[in-house]
Amino acid sequence: MGQRGNIMSFRPDIKVLDATLRDGGLVNSFQFSDEFVKDLYAANVKAGVDYMEFGYKADREMFDPDRFGKWKFCNDDDIYAIVGDNPTDMKIAVMADVGRTNYKRDIPEKANSPVDMYRIATYINTMPAAIEMVEYCHKQGYETTVNIMAISSAKERDIDTALYMLGESCVDGIYIVDSYGSIYPEEMREIADKYMELGEQYHKYIGVHSHNNQQLAFANTIEAISRGVSYADATVNSMGRGAGNCPLELLLGFLRNPKYNINSILQFIERHMLPLRATGVKWGYDIPYMLTGQLNRHPRSAIEYTAQGRTDYLDFYQSLMDRE
């Protein structure tokens, strides 16, 4: 593997996926107004975004629909109400978590659905279940990806095995996911090279999904791209769990494909993201997330800590050290 393209050129294989509703929904329990979702859809179309992820396909028997907004469940009818027949070049994606989706009941044939792509999120130990879901979604007519979460705490040998299993499967794309925001760019380049080697062998594209715990979400995304990774997740104003994700406005400003344009995203931030933040919904880089990122930990303790409004950073840091 080596560098692909350069800073002045563009690679037509690159696709941008807006994950604002899905990863962002994790910080406001998916309580987005219809106006927000409609305007985001319109802004993404104008910006040249390639895929918009609407949320999760969670099982209503596992999660209480009174506690979560509708994008936790992504009923096709709710998506139709936003996009109609989606007469645009932008495709619609939905995420399905292994073990949290009743996919045989809830995922109909593609011919009767506004969804174009199912992304299967899995930890490395549930790879067989993920592949079963991929095979099902593929048979139903959807594009598919598998997003292997938390690879920074997985053994390299297990990642190799998982990649081999995915290579042999019918999945279209495989995502590098830095769930803890702990990966440094020089590590990201090595990981991207590993995934790309498998991808070229098996004709799978590789994607990247990053978190901003160490202010590296954008840097890691463009590093992965420079090694040949072609699908990049981002969220408007970086809205996402904990420290948030790669900001869409930074990514679109970097990519040189003339189809991308940040105007509508700037307007969307002004009209929707600033008011949303003003209601008290919190995300983005902050010291507690930095600490869990540096220590390669799940951000849950930092999320709790931040929600409590605490700022005794040194105590929090020491408490993280105690957990070993």
Which residues of this protein are in contact with its own copies, per CB under 8 A? Answer: 3, 6-7, 184-187, 212, 214-219, 222-223, 226, 247, 249-250, 253-254, 262-263, 266-267, 269-270, 274, 285, 287, 290-291, 294, 311-314, 317
Instruction: Please give the C-alpha separations between residue 260 and each of 28, 66, 251, 285, in angstroms, as whole numbers.
Output: 28, 38, 10, 26
Q: Are 18 and 49 in contact (CB under 8 A)?
A: yes
* C-beta of 170 vs 287, nearer to its own copies: 287
Number of alpha carbons in the 13 Å side-chain half-sphere of residue 56: 23
Nearest to 16 by CA among 151, 218, 215: 218
Minimum CB–partner distance for residue 236 and its own copies (Å) = 11
* C-beta of 101 vs 213, nearer to its own copies: 213
Minimum CB–partner distance for residue 261 and its own copies (Å) = 11
Minimum CB–partner distance for residue 275 and its own copies (Å) = 10
* C-beta of 55 vs 288, nearer to its own copies: 288
* C-beta of 75 vs 294, nearer to its own copies: 294
Instruction: Please give the C-alpha separations between residue 80 and each of 11, 75, 88, 239, in angstroms, as whole numbers.
Output: 32, 9, 13, 24
Q: Which two tokens stand for residue 179?
A: 């769930």
Instruction: Please give the C-alpha separations between residue 93 and each of 29, 52, 248, in angstroms, as whole numbers.
Output: 19, 6, 16
DSSP class of residue 119 equals E
Strands 143-148, 117-122: pairing kind: parallel
Handedness of CA 176, 180, 184, 185 (dihedral sign): positive
Minimum CB–partner distance for residue 190 and its own copies (Å) = 10
* C-beta of 126 vs 212, nearer to its own copies: 212
* Contacts of 228 by beta carbon, 8 Å cutoff, 6+ apart: 1, 4, 192, 196, 199, 206
Minimum CB–partner distance for residue 306 and its own copies (Å) = 13
Q: How many CB atoms are closer than 10 A to CB 47?
A: 24
* C-beta of 69 vs 293, nearer to its own copies: 293
Residue that is written with structure tokens 């998982």 in the block: 162
Minimum CB–partner distance for residue 65 and its own copies (Å) = 34
Quick check: helix, strand or coil at residue 147?
Answer: strand
Terminal CA-to-CA distance of the chain, rounded, Å? Answer: 37
* C-beta of 23 vs 172, nearer to its own copies: 23
* C-beta of 160 vs 312, nearer to its own copies: 312
Q: Are 181 and 215 in contact (CB under 8 A)?
A: no
Minimum CB–partner distance for residue 88 and its own copies (Å) = 21
Minimum CB–partner distance for residue 27 and its own copies (Å) = 18
